[in-house]
């Protein structure tokens, strides 16, 4: 009986992890629209929501990968829902990179990526 409860919990948690990313964009957009009554309020809301979205889109795929490793260890199929979730979370960085190249050009995108890597190194050396 405990094995069945664990399987149900794994199925429910995988669905939550898959849907939290796409639904977070909708919730965060509504929050920005509500807070956008004054320009500075909208910018502050956007600044907060970008960080929340980054956390969600970092933790959820890592949790899905851990869930996949657990399922493989128990020789269970991964499932279509988890595959779609990983495809979504894998495509988001590619979409952001493509948009950056489109908007900033290749040199601007490379400078942006260099700045991000420099900031990560700085934060890790602290």
Span 78-88, pLDDT tens digits: 778 888 888 88
- pTM for this entry: 0.65
Query: For residue range 12-71, what is the model confidence (pLDDT) as tens digits?
Result: 777 777 788 888 887 777 777 776 666 666 666 666 777 778 888 888 888 888 888 888
Instruction: Identify which has the larger pLDDT, 78 or 109.
Output: 109
Q: Is 68 helix (H, G, I), strand (E, B) or coil?
A: helix
pLDDT score for 1: 44
The pLDDT value given to residue 76? 78
DSSP single-letter state for residue 38:
S
The answer for 114, left when phi > 0, alpha when psi is -120 to 50, beta otherwise, is alpha
């Amino acid at each position: 009986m405990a094995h069945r409860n664990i399987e149900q919990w794994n199925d429910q948690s995988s669905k939550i992890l898959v849907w939290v990313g796409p639904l977070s964009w909708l919730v965060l957009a509504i929050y920005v629209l509500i807070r956008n009554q004054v320009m500075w309020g909208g910018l502050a809301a956007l600044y907060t929501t970008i960080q929340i979205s980054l956390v969600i889109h970092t933790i959820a795929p890592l949790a899905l990968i851990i869930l996949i490793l657990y399922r493989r260890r128990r020789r269970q199929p991964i499932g279509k829902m988890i595959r779609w979730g990983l495809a979504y979370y894998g495509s988001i960085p590619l979409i952001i990179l493509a948009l950056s190249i489109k908007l900033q050009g290749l040199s601007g995108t490379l400078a942006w990526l260099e700045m991000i890597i420099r900031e990560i190194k700085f934060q890790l050396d602290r």
